[in-house]
Structure 1
Amino acid sequence: MNAGAVLNFKLKRRELQGFGDDGRETTAGDNIKDFLLSLRYFRIFIALWNIFMMFCMIVLFGS
């Protein structure tokens, strides 16, 4: 999740044609693309979590 949030992909959501179902099934690629797009909103939280974890590792495991 860290790598997906940090990477800067130029992904776009699939456009729906008209109302309701457009006749296409959602593929695994579409689901992965949607997941990576949703990770963008959590970039700051994930970055702060990583900094906190690095601090904890230095404090707890540093000699």
Structure 2
Amino acid sequence: MAAAAALRHRRHRRDTEGFGEESREPTTGDNIREFLLSLRYFRIFIALWNVFMMFCMIVLFGS
């Protein structure tokens, strides 16, 4: 985990070095990272939805 953080930090520094704005194509790694981030948000949404549904089932059908 610490190695991944060090690599991310080193990569971030390298990307910010330079003189101007360079428009570059997103790499496969960038696309995978973006997909995993969106998947994480989707999993959080599903978890909150499940908690809400359990709450509704307890309140509406519990009596």
Same fold (TM over 0.5): no
User: TM bucket by the smaller chain?
Assistant: 0.3 to 0.5
Structure with higher helix content: 2
Q: Which has the higher contact order (CA 8 A, sep 6+)?
A: 1
| Higher CA-based Rg | 2
TM-score (norm: length of structure 1): 0.32
